[in-house]
Structure 1
Amino acid sequence: MEALLCKSLGDPTEPISLTSPISISRTHPIPKLNSPTSIRIRVKATSLNYANYLQILGKYQEKFPLPFVPGSDYSGVVDAIGNKVTKFKVGDKVCSFAATGSFAQFIVADENDLFLVPDGCDLLTAGALPVAYGTSHVALVHRAQLSPGQVLLVLGAAGGVGLSAVQIGKVCGAIVIAVARGAEKVQFLMSLGVDHVVDLSKDTITESVKEFLKARKLKGVDVLYDPVGGKPTKESMKLLKWGAKILVIGFASGEIPVVPVNIALVKNWTIHGLYWGSYKIHKPDVLEDSLKELLSWLARGLITLNISHTYRLSEANLAFAAIKERKAIGKVMIAFDDHSTVRSKI
């Protein structure tokens, strides 16, 4: 089968060659069923997340022995099932996630780790859902318990997880403030019904948000959703009200921010570290309930997924470049069929 191999740590945006960190193998062994309840899926689409980029760079919190097949969330069609599988049959459309391995034509998973894709949802869209939307759903609904009328500030709002946080915030009834850079991203966010957008190419977070809060007679930000870190985090903390919650999602800026715990004490802030993947080990029921609700929301049209770029596996370096250079508005995907057959209808 065709698979993307990470042979050495380095920049995955380099042109694919014999010496680049990533390469295409066309003779990688097709994985075999490894238990009576295992299922083999023919992958149709797999998502690129910033974590995948960091994994290949060697800068992610988890390290994987070389060589490995990167990739996490995916969608596809059931190809083969173990003799004790009861929940799925060959031909079912499914989606899921894994620590590694989805940048390949086939992947094996246990039936308890798979989710049936609802009717009306195409596979490209379903493959974009689990990690980004799962992260934001667990963060906002489970951890922050975001409620109607609260003010949510989303940094990096045009990226994969940022855009998911914006949409989930609106479903929860929050007043959503989004931070992005550039007119195209601002226009797209406004089309989603965001209450206020800070364009970093023109304004500072502090002044723009303060002006909005004053106009709406709001006291401050209740929940900060932060996948960025660095200077934007430092600015945003000036806007948090008493009792606010900070959701630490990641550090796309490359700079880990310092939270002044003396101010956190005085203002009774709660800081939530959110490593979504660890829920698979510690609270798998939370992940299962979260993804089931998200798939329901998707089927009902409460959330939509914007697929910004779609590439073939042989173009993986270009896909990673779209992530690295922040070209995407929403999700970057790799599809294993002709693009015309897997374009999102949502």
Structure 2
Amino acid sequence: FLSSLFSTVDSSSSPVSSTLDTIYVSSSMQATISSSSSSRQTKTSSSSLSTSTSSTATTTENSSTTTIVNLFNAVSTDEPPTVFDRSPNPMSLADGVSNDGPIQTNKFYTNLIVGSQESPAFVYPYSLWKYTSSSYGFAVQHTTVDQYSYGGYDSSGNAEYLVNPLGIAHVVFSASNFDSSMTMQVDEMTLSSTRVVLSESNDSSNYLEIPLVQGMGFATGIYHGSLNAKIGSSVGFNTIVSESSSNLAQGILKYRITLLNGVTWLCYVIGPDDLTSTDFSLEVSSEYEIKASASVDGLIIQLAVAPSETDYEVFYDQAAGMYVTNFKLQGVSDGSTATY
């Protein structure tokens, strides 16, 4: 996804910031580019640019004009007409849910802000949820097409529906400190992201932070304070093996975790200072639990299902230590084509 967007008039023109509302492109004049923070002029051979908040463009007899519009400008922010009844939302938010702005509806994380908060958020390819079954933490599940069940076949043999299994806690971000007094906060909600914070009785010093963004490649947990990291699983662990890779950045530890169902997960551990295997390790404490050898303030643990083709694993190694917290989609159109 693009963090900035440029619109190019021709090979000699300068880029135009994505903050522009409407851009007019006409012929045989000088280009003026302005924004709220700066103003500058750039000469082009055959183009003219100017910013405006108007939604329509004027034309002259000797020049053609094209209006380029920001596709994500609000259509309207006016209050709806009074003909529509006002009534409060009958569904209340769960405890620990807060946001700087309005709470948006129909989002991938809605299950985390209502009810018991134990239904999953679907970030794809993973689903994650508050876990309070055999242990306490935040569960991660990854399913593949071979796990789907089909039914309701018609006379031609076509299935009417498929069932994707839910609630299988393949891995669980947890801590030795967590028990039934664990609380969950959800904040920093945007169109495409949110943040989950787990702690014991709303402890603001010792907490587990989990950023959720649609399409994220790693499930990431950041441990703050004196929490002793723990990874759980309702499936169970078969093996955990420490590995090295020339593609890893310095100070990143890599583990290969194989579950009892035969599925392999990659686990990366990153500390605020360069970690070594003599300073820190993950150790199997039971068939369903892996514990950190020590608590580390700022410890990051990242989990991802290993790719089916080992040649692709290099990309996981190179990306380890980085995690996304948000993304923004931007786009413009001239009425016949669009750029995102």
Structure-2-length-normalised TM-score: 0.24
Which structure shows the higher strand fraction?
2
Higher relative contact order (CA 8 A, sep 6+): 1
Determine which structure has the larger helix proportion and give its number: 1
Q: Looking at CA atoms only, which structure, 1 or 2, has the larger radius of gyration?
A: 2
TM-score (norm 1): 0.24
